[in-house]
Amino acid sequence: MPSKRFITLTATSFALACSSSGTPSGTAGANGGANTGGRHCARASAGQSGGGMAGGAEQSAADALIVPAGLDVIALEGGNGVLDMIALTLRAGASATELYAALRNDGDVPACSAGVSVQLFDLSGQSLAASITALFSNNLYRLTDGSGTIVSCIAPGEIAMGAISDLPADLVIDRVGSVVYQTPYFALDVAPVGGHLNVSGLKAVPTMGGATYTGTVVNGLDFAVSGPTVTVFPVNCAGRPLGVATASGGGDIAPRGTWSFQTSGVDMAGVDAVAYPTASPSSDASP
C-alpha cells in the first residue's frame, strides 16, 4: 500500500480534517445564513461574487456579512477561480489589526491546499497593507496518481475560513475603503477520503473577557495522527467569523481515538462557532 503523505502549500498549517459547529446559543452555523432567536440574517446567494460586495446599511453590525459597514470587498480579476469571499471582519486586535474571512467554493471542482491573500486600500486607492493566510476546510481528498498523498480541499459548495493577525497595529480602519483578495489553490485530480478528523461536543465556556471553547477531537481516519491542533472561529448569525481561538496537543491519536481540548480565549463569542481540527500522520503510522 502506498505510504500516506499530506500536501501543504506553505509552512502555515492547513486544515486536514472536518469542521464542526457548536451552538453556544441559537442555531446558526457558518453556512452563509441562519435564523437565530427569530431574527433573519443575510444569506449570500449561490454564485454571488465577492467583487464589489459591501456591508448593507440595512443590516445591524451583529448580523452583517461585512464589517466595517461600507467596506468594498473585491475579487482580484482572474485571481480566484472557484472561490468567492462571502463574509469578512476587519477589526483592531490586542497587538495587530486582524482580518477574518469566510469563502465559498461556488464552482464544481475541489480547491486544494487553498489560501487567501488580501491587499487593503484607502479611499484614494493607495495601498495600506497586505497579507496572506491558509484557508481551513472540512474535506480530505486523496490524489488519484497512486501515491497515496492526502490533501485538504474545499469541496464544491463548502465554506472555508481564514484568519490574518499580522496587519499593522497602527492601521486606521476608518481609512480602509476596499479589500482586494486573491485565492491561490491547486486544481488536482483527487478522490474523497472516507474518514476524517472531527470535533464533537464543541461548547463555549464564558469568561470575564469573552469565551473559550472545549470539545473532543475524534480520529475517524484509518491511521494514527500526531500533534493535533484545533482552530475555532466564533461566528455571527450570518456565519461571519468574528475572531479565532486555538488549542494544541502532543502525542498521537489512534484510529477512533480521541483528544479533549480547551482553546485560548476570544473576546467575541458570537452566536455559534466552527471548529477545524488538524494533525499530521504519526511517524509510526502503517504504510
| Tens of pLDDT, residues 151-193 | 889 999 999 999 999 999 999 999 999 999 999 999 999 998 8
Gap between the Cα atoms of 107 and 89, Å rounded: 24
Other beta carbons within 10 angstroms of residue 182's beta carbon come to: 18
Fold of 194-280: Immunoglobulin-like (2.60.40)
What pLDDT is recorded for position 36? 25
The pLDDT assigned to 284 comes to 58
CA angle 204–21–39, rounded 5-degree value:
85
Question: What do you get for the CA distance between the two ends of the chain, in Å?
Answer: 6
Q: Which residues pair with 235 in a beta bridge?
A: 241, 272
pLDDT tops 60 at residue 29: no
> What is the reported pLDDT for 283?
67
The answer to whether residue 142 scores a pLDDT higher than 80 is yes
Q: What are phi and psi of 174, to 5 degrees?
A: -65, -20
Give the model's pLDDT for residue 163.
98
3-state SS class at 15: coil
Cβ-Cβ contacts under 8 Å for 205 (sequence gap 6 or more): 211, 212, 213, 214, 262
The domains of the chain are located at 5-14+43-191, 194-280
Q: What percent of the chain has pLDDT over 90?
A: 61
Q: What local confidence, expressed as pLDDT, does residue 127 receive? A: 97
Q: What is the mean pLDDT of residues 249-261?
A: 94
Average pLDDT over residues 201-214: 95
Distance from C-alpha of 198 to C-alpha of 220, rounded to nearest angstrom: 7
Of residues 142 and 46, more confidence is placed in 142
Task: Give the mean pLDDT of the chain.
Answer: 81
The alpha-carbon radius of gyration of the chain (Å, integer) is 18
pLDDT digits (tens, 9 = 90+) for 1-21: 333 333 332 222 333 333 344
Q: What is the pLDDT of residues 93-122, one digit of tens each?
A: 989 999 999 999 999 999 999 999 999 999
Binning pLDDT at 50, 70 and 90, where does residue 194 land? confident
Peptide bond between residue 68 and the one before it cis (omega within 30 degrees of 0): yes
pLDDT, residue 41, reads 56
- Per-residue pLDDT for 138 more than 70? yes
Average pLDDT (196-219) is 94
User: Who has greater pLDDT, 54 or 77?
Assistant: 77
Residues 6+ apart with CB under 8 A from 176: 68, 71, 90, 120, 121, 122, 128
| 250 vs 83 pLDDT, higher one | 83
